Chain A
């Protein structure tokens, strides 16, 4: 049995199930309680779980992130939301230096079972400070797990896996996926962290992607199929720890790779994956790995310009043809 719900509702379901299951869990962030989150993910939670477990914070990311880390150290299971992932720079120290490292700095005396949800991505005309995709930055820090689901099913399955994980997990959610309605299974289920999924099988080229760009990759794949180009779409779902075996398997099959993300191309996680593939799978490659990313610019406010700044299906089609010289 399955049902069709939006990605935001799927996340809400995951959070709700875990709130009911785990009384050590609490939710904290800007506009999470009274307003029920800017994307309506937690509407009704305040009434149901009370102000001790659903907490509105001031605009003070470093402060409430630090509180969450402290709570996690003491055995609580905080689920924090940053309204936009751009604000991760505000709470860099508690996240990157404390949450990621305390298990190691304390010689294993404490773990940090913390979940940080970060809406991200371009396309909402939110301009330079609210449109970034900071996977590269977050994935840089050892000690953090990072997931970036695309589908409603994975959004629910991964948030539940994250909430049950003993270590800090960053969940990157694309803002323009929230309203998308998709089938998800009924009842409780978990999507394991660290497992990629082949969304479409193909033999000519592998598109590695995650989050919203997976949908664009699927659209591109359909277009390409009509021209006789058979691409495989690999949805990473988890960025750290990455499912290297899935990448190896797909690249060894198709021998051509593009990596699609909305990140600024320079210093992106797409670049990291490209380098890793170049090092480990050199002999499998029939062409250089191409990154299809955003431009190396500040995200523009102008809709016309913003649309030039992240990969659309047509851009992916073009890149695939360039790599295959077709």
Chain B
């Protein structure tokens, strides 16, 4: 019997992964340690390496398919060796993995619920992938309720699941939940929602719908901060970014405001012990938030190095699965894009997020004189279930004061 290669669990909260591309193909020789496929999961692309020597006998999970943790990906063995029947259904779908996709009201009895083995003919399975039909929602009319080709064809014709098969190169495992996707205009193309984009979408929607948010903007005079940064450059030769200084100041200020470090957990509130700073990094494929752990205990130097390292590796897709987990507060900096203020969305399970905006010259009055000051705004969104405006305002004021007397950041 050939070896089964299963979807790995990368990180404690991973429930499923998407097969993004097969590096090895059926019939290829494989050595232990060889990369056999790439999966996209929890915002990252990871490589799956073989633990076995042999031949890639059969690919079960096709590119674009979402496979639960421990679900079957492929078989590796000796040529001619029997593989497990070719049933592509995941061997073991963790109960938690059931995405509870609100079944369409019309669906009478889907052939399989919650990842149970699907009774489906090989042809129907192939057809479903081709037409972008989610077979798990199709009712079979073959012997013993098996899903056969005509059921997939009917589903494709009935739903708008397949607006233009040719336009959707990635086999869609799940149709868009809303049928409006049929509203295509000439020249439009359709791409399946996969990997990072899908995760970002799900998490942002969840945050936006679950949390009553309030965003509070505060103005910070960063003239001194900019001068301090220049002084650091001159004295240490190291160029710290404004973001480094803000991260350091935020970490310090959070330690003084533990009330900011809480999480909503159903009917209880978790008080977080650590200042783990999430740092939003924009990528071509979406957004990721690597975490600087215990940032309050780190020197400016260490924070600067950590931030640079995490951002670089995030862009190269080389973050470890646990490096973007466990934040207790997040900083999102759009200053370099000239954004004046914004309303950042909270990165759950944090209770608040700090948006950092652009630094601009502004005229101010000082001792009756008109002077030019460098000014930046901070936009802090809070979860009003956990935090109140005044509480966060105090945190923002303290942070502002810290940034306005930059020497004290390092104390």
A interface residues (Cβ-Cβ under 8 A, vs B): 255, 282-287, 322-323, 325
B233 lies within 8 A of chain A by Cβ: no
Q: How many A-B residue pairs have CB under 8 A?
A: 31
CB distance from B21 to the nearest CB of A (A): 21
Find chain B residues with CB under 8 A from A255 CB: 123, 149
**Is A286 within 8 A of B124, CB to CB?**
yes
Contacts A255-B123, A285-B123, A287-B146 known; list 4 others, CB within 8 Å: A282-B122, A286-B149, A287-B148, A322-B143
**Is B143 within 8 A of A283, CB to CB?**
no
Partner of A284, one of B86, B122, B143: B122
Interface centre among B121, B141, B149 (most CB of A within 10 A): B121
The 0/1 profile, CB within 8 Å of A marked 1, for residues 125-148 of chain B is 110000000000000011100101
- Taken together as a complex, chains A and B put the C-alpha atoms of A255 and B146 apart, in Å, by 15
Find chain B residues with CB under 8 A from A283 CB: 122-123, 125-126
B interface residues (Cβ-Cβ under 8 A, vs A): 86, 121-126, 141-143, 146, 148-149
**Is A282 within 8 A of B143, CB to CB?**
no
Find chain A residues with CB under 8 A from B143 CB: 287, 322-323, 325
CB distance from A278 to the nearest CB of B (A): 9
**Is A286 within 8 A of B121, CB to CB?**
yes
- Taken together as a complex, chains A and B put the C-alpha atoms of A261 and B123 apart, in Å, by 26
**Is B123 within 8 A of A284, CB to CB?**
yes
Q: For residue B145, which residue of chain A has the nearest CB?
A: A325
CB distance from A219 to the nearest CB of B (A): 24
**A/B interface sample: 25 pairs, CB < 8 A:** A255-B123, A255-B149, A282-B122, A283-B122, A283-B125, A283-B126, A284-B122, A284-B123, A285-B121, A285-B122, A286-B121, A286-B122, A286-B123, A286-B142, A286-B148, A287-B121, A287-B142, A287-B143, A287-B146, A287-B148, A322-B143, A323-B143, A325-B141, A325-B142, A325-B148
Q: For residue A282, which residue of chain B has the nearest CB?
A: B122
- Taken together as a complex, chains A and B put the C-alpha atoms of A286 and B142 apart, in Å, by 9
CB distance from B232 to the nearest CB of A (A): 65
Q: For residue B126, which residue of chain A has the nearest CB?
A: A283
CB distance from A264 to the nearest CB of B (A): 25
Find chain A residues with CB under 8 A from B123 CB: 255, 283-286
Find chain B residues with CB under 8 A from A286 CB: 121-124, 142, 148-149
Find chain A residues with CB under 8 A from B124 CB: 286
- Taken together as a complex, chains A and B put the C-alpha atoms of A34 and B142 apart, in Å, by 58
- Taken together as a complex, chains A and B put the C-alpha atoms of A229 and B121 apart, in Å, by 20
Find chain B residues with CB under 8 A from A322 CB: 143
Q: For residue A252, which residue of chain B has the nearest CB?
A: B123
Find chain A residues with CB under 8 A from B122 CB: 282-286
- Taken together as a complex, chains A and B put the C-alpha atoms of A284 and B124 apart, in Å, by 9
CB distance from A205 to the nearest CB of B (A): 12
Find chain B residues with CB under 8 A from A284 CB: 122-123
CB distance from A286 to the nearest CB of B (A): 4
- Taken together as a complex, chains A and B put the C-alpha atoms of A227 and B126 apart, in Å, by 29
Q: For residue B152, which residue of chain A has the nearest CB?
A: A286
**Is A282 within 8 A of B142, CB to CB?**
no
CB distance from B82 to the nearest CB of A (A): 10
- Taken together as a complex, chains A and B put the C-alpha atoms of A285 and B85 apart, in Å, by 14
Q: For residue B151, which residue of chain A has the nearest CB?
A: A286
Find chain B residues with CB under 8 A from A287 CB: 121, 142-143, 146, 148
Q: For residue A323, which residue of chain B has the nearest CB?
A: B143
Find chain A residues with CB under 8 A from B141 CB: 325
